[in-house]
Structure 1
Amino acid sequence: MPSKTSASRVPLYRQVQDVLLQRLDGGALRPGDRLPTETDLAAELRVNRLTVRQAIGELTRAGRLVARQGSGTFVAPPPQHFPIELVASYIGGPDGLGAAFTAVGRTLNETLVASEIVLGASAPQAEEHLPDTRLRRIDTVLTVDGEPWFANSVWMDDRRFAGIDRHLQDGAPLYTVWRDVYGVRLKAAWRSFAAAVASPRIAELLEIPSGAPVLLRDGLNVDEDGTPTVYINRSCRSDRVRFVANYRQTD
């Protein structure tokens, strides 16, 4: 429920937006579902209708909701996927970013933010790709020359990577810990990219305004046997990050 306390640094409409985003991302609201009316949402969340309207407007502009004249507001259909075929290789750092930044004289560091066991049905995308496991979610922030650029949520099998928390306390990158401590080398199975707005939590981690544009990058990594091993969700500052796909030419 949104907080109305004057001490809150997050505007009420952003808090309402975050509640709706959690329902969208968690599957409580699915594509094609009709959103409750502004009046019903305002009563449920104990805010003004104008606050709800502003939050819905932000999500509509972000493409997550669609307004239909005379019918209401509905959850937008999922975006169309356009495959790009690339050659997979073993990942030596945070998705190969370390070497890229080192090459241009910049420093990339990873900091542990949180680690917890995931409750069932609370991470449907991760559970879909990593079934029949006890999932641990680890949140980290990647900084470039001390400035936060990437906020990561990573899901993995807690039994396979038992005790991983203590290896991350000193700032060791996740990929280094997976490789050197657990002997697991990872390859990217797939990556997806989408535009979004920063939730209050992501905005705080990246030190940007809540609702600022971010680039979402989801992905699945597999081990040397091809077993799905790590599911990753990364929020990238759109004012700092661009991704370029280079195509290898073949005959």
Structure 2
Amino acid sequence: MPSKTSAGRVPLYRQVQDVLLQRLDSGMLQPGDRLPPETDLAAELRVNRLTVRQAIGELTRAGRLVARQGSGTFVAPPPQHFPIELAASYINGPDGLSGAFASVGRTLSEIPVSSEIVLGGSAPQAEEYLPGRRLRRDDSVLAVDGEPWFANSVWMDDRRFAGIGRHLQDGVPLYTVWRDVYDVRLKAAWRSFAAAAASPRVAEILEIPPGAPVLLREGLNLDEDGSPTVYIHRSCRSDRVRFVANYLQTD
């Protein structure tokens, strides 16, 4: 389990929470699965049982787990999806955010955090939508007037975007790199929105308390040929961000 952050030691229950989140996100624990007893988890992770209980309580409040009296704690079912149909268009910045902020006199900048090849099986959702590819994950933070508002992760084909790390620099959006360096223009296939609790890593990037509410936005982008190209996972600060869908009127 991780033990340090730039701000100091991560509380043990947050470390346990992060381990459980990894198991939930990787599919190791599926909806409906019963969690091992607290005593077993405490022995496995070499922590106190009360530490495990606190971590499970946090994940239960976040809606990832559900407690059933007399039966134990189970992985919560996935949320219900409610589709909204919108017209697709090519994306010239971080999902059109740059222009939206510029129109009100604010500046959006993208700051790289990390870039790495991901092991097979460690990113099941990205692998589902981008099958058969050697995936690279790029993490960045989107800051508004210098304040971090969005923690951004994208998965892409490392062979198609070979050497992309050389082109990543502060202030240059990934969409600009894809378009200008690799001649790839992207448009959205779908987006989903859900409430979530900030993981320790996201909390550190966004400079908010771990477990603070965030708006989780995921999606898939297509290239000009309609081929799935980029899978996106973005955590948005709920104290800074609100999305509004405007419906275009037609005859």
Instruction: Please give the TM-score of this superposition, normalised by the length of structure 2.
Output: 0.96
Number of the residue aligned with 1:73: 73
Distance 2:88 2:208 in 1: 33
User: In the comparison of the two structures, how many residue pairs are matched?
Assistant: 250
Instruction: Report SS of the residue matched to 2:91.
Output: coil
Check conservation: 1:33, 1:75, Cα contact below 8 A: yes
**Pair 1:145 & 2:145 matched:** yes
Confirm or deny: 8 A CA contact 2:188 2:221 kept in the other structure: yes
Shift of 1:9: 3.0
1:107-161 per-position Cα deviation (integer Å, ceiling 9, x unaligned):
0000111111111111110010001111111001100000000011100011111
- In structure 2, the partner of 1:208 is 208
TM-superposed deviation, 1:8 = 4.3
Alpha-carbon distance change, 199 to 100 in structure 1, aligned in 2, over 3 angstroms: same
Q: Which residue does 2:115 correspond to in 1?
A: 115
Partner amino acid for 1:73? T
CA distance in 1 between partners of 2:34 and 2:8 (Å):
30
Measure, in 1, the Cα distance between the counterparts of 2:99 and 2:8. Answer: 39
- Give the secondary-structure state (helix, strand or coil) at the position aligned to 2:156: strand
Query: 2:62 corresponds to which letter in structure 1?
Result: A
Shift of 1:37: 0.7
SS at match of 2:90: coil
Task: Give the 5 Å matches for 1:190-201.
Answer: 190-201=190-201
Residue equivalent to 2:167: 167
Aligned ranges 1:87-98 → 2 under 5 Å: 87-98=87-98
Tell me if the contact between 1:17 and 1:59 (Cα under 8 Å) persists in the aligned partners. Answer: yes
Q: Do structure 1's residue 228 and structure 2's residue 215 form an aligned pair?
A: no
Pick which of 109-118 and 162-171 moved more: 162-171
Given that 2:110 and 2:170 are in contact with CA atoms closer than 8 Å, whether structure 1 keeps it comes out as: no
String of CA shifts for 1:1-29, please: whole Å, max 9, x gaps: 35499x94321111111111110001010
Identity of aligned pairs, percent?
86
**8 Å contact 1:154–1:232 — kept in the other structure?**
yes
Q: Give the stretch that moved more between structures: 157-166 or 26-35.
A: 157-166
In structure 1, the gaps of 5 or more residues are none
Decide whether aligned partners of structure 1 residues 224 and 2 sit closer, same or farther in structure 2, where only a CA change above 3 A counts: closer
CA distance in structure 2 between the aligned counterparts of 1:220 and 1:147, rounded to whole angstroms:
26
Q: CA RMSD in A?
A: 1.4
Contact 2:4-2:10 within 8 A present in 1 as well:
no
Aligned to 1:240: 240
Secondary structure in structure 2 of the residue aligned to 1:41: helix
**Cα distance in structure 2, aligned partners of 1:75 and 1:136:** 28
Task: Give the unaligned 5+ runs of structure 2.
Answer: none
Q: 1:143 to 1:16 in 2, by over 3 A?
A: same
Mapped pair 1:61 → 2:61: yes
Deviation beyond 4 Å, 4+ runs, structure 1: none
For 2:152, the aligned partner's letter is: N
Shift of 1:171: 3.2
Partner of 1:42: 42
